[in-house]
């Protein structure tokens, strides 16, 4: 299978992940989070099983189905994970930012751990057998779903009509926050995409590029809970603005500092902190718009999650386009421009309603 076909398959999985956010979140609001986590685990197991079966002439078609199943599993699980944190935080909104920050940090660690485990197992036993082994993991964790609380009768009885749901999701400020999520995560993913090209200019090799992603993850893990805690105490706006400004300055600094390993490490530490410190605050802000009228957290957060999921593939696409036509330095500046556009949206569209 050539690289172009593989890229299309990966992209299709991302698109499916975006499309299932609203039905997955709304379904969790209506029938509870537990069955949708269970559904996501089953879809993930089927996806890995499909990858194991993908061989011969039918391999590409089976891989396509497997990618769609995997994308659906990711979308359903993540939107309900964010909504579950929101459900738990309804009684104590003073800690909501920190809770979202811990969740986002956990997702960042899981993403990197997945790459490491998949890469290690794939090199030892091959990707088909690795898929079979990984397919058993979702089934192993299914018993843990008993700890997810059932939907309360009061919440289950609240079923707002389609018109109310659409007005809530398509609120001008929520749409701006969704665009911010795409721009912020797109900047982070775009910077990560550009990193190997910056390293390649200095003949450091692919392994060095992988190691230089570690500061990005470290910044993400630190800034998520810490930024959330500060936002709980000071409000989302000042923390959000500082995080975005730090990310902008770090991206601009790479234009002159990418040739220095210590500065490269520092910049990616700050970019990781900026991106993954800001994303939990967007979740806090989108829930704080008090016009939901019975619309559940899963439905409200689905729009924001669609923006985040879009950023994972739009960011590298934009970065690659700028890199091809204008060079690496313009690529770094494009990531800074994404964060600057996000900051402008926050100031111009997202008004200062109370948290």
Among residues 347, 334, 310, the alpha carbon closest in space to that of 191 is found at: 334
Distance separating alpha carbons of residues 286 and 178, to the nearest angstrom = 9
DSSP 8-class letter at 152: P
Distance separating alpha carbons of residues 179 and 203, to the nearest angstrom = 37
Band (pLDDT 50/70/90 cuts) for residue 52 is: confident
Band (pLDDT 50/70/90 cuts) for residue 204 is: low
Among residues 144, 150, 142, the alpha carbon closest in space to that of 38 is found at: 142
- pLDDT at residue 244 greater than cutoff 50: yes
- Of residues 350 and 317, the one with the higher pLDDT is 317
At 166 the pLDDT is: 73
Helix axis angle, 59-89 to 261-288, nearest 10°: 60
Q: 169: which 2 tokens?
A: 């999701």
Q: Whole-prediction pTM value?
A: 0.84
CATH superfamily of 3-348: MFS general substrate transporter like domains (1.20.1250.20)
DSSP 8-class letter at 330: H
Distance separating alpha carbons of residues 155 and 147, to the nearest angstrom = 19
Distance separating alpha carbons of residues 152 and 169, to the nearest angstrom = 23
Q: Where are the domains of the chain?
A: 3-348
């Amino acid at each position: 299978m050539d690289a172009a076909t593989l890229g299309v398959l990966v992209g299709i999985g991302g698109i499916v992940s975006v499309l299932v956010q609203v039905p997955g979140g709304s379904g969790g609001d209506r029938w509870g989070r537990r069955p949708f986590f269970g559904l996501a685990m089953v879809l993930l197991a089927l996806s890995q099983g499909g990858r194991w079966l993908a061989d011969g002439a039918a391999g590409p078609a089976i891989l396509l189905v497997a990618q769609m199943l995997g994308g659906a599993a990711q979308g359903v699980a993540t939107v309900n994970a964010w909504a579950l944190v929101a459900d738990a935080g309804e009684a104590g909104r003073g800690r909501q930012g920190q809770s979202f920050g811990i969740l986002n940090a956990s997702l960042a660690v899981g993403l990197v751990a997945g790459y490491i485990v998949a890469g290690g197992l794939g090199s030892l036993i091959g990707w088909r057998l690795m898929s079979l082994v990984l397919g058993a993991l979702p089934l192993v964790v299914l018993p843990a779903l008993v700890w997810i609380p059932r939907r309360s009768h009061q919440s289950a009885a609240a079923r707002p009509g389609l018109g109310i749901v659409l007005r809530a999701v398509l609120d001008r400020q929520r749409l701006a926050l969704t665009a911010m999520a795409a721009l912020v995560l797109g900047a982070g993913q775009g910077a990560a995409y550009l990193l190997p090209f910056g390293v390649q200019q200095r003949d450091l090799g692919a392994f060095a590029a992988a190691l230089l992603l570690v500061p990005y993850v470290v910044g993400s893990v630190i800034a998520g809970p810490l930024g959330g805690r500060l936002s709980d105490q000071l409000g989302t706006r000042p923390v959000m603005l500082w995080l975005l400004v730090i990310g902008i300055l770090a991206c601009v600094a790479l234009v002159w500092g990418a040739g220095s390993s210590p500065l490269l490490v520092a910049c990616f530490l700050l970019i990781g902190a900026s991106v993954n410190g800001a994303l939990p605050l967007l979740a806090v802000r989108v829930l704080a718009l008090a016009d939901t009228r019975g619309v559940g957290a899963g439905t409200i957060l689905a729009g924001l999650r669609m923006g985040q999921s879009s950023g994972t593939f739009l960011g590298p696409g934009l970065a690659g386009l700028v890199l091809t036509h204008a060079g690496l330095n313009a690529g770094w500046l494009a990531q800074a421009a994404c964060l600057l556009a996000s900051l402008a949206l926050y100031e111009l569209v997202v008004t200062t309603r109370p948290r």
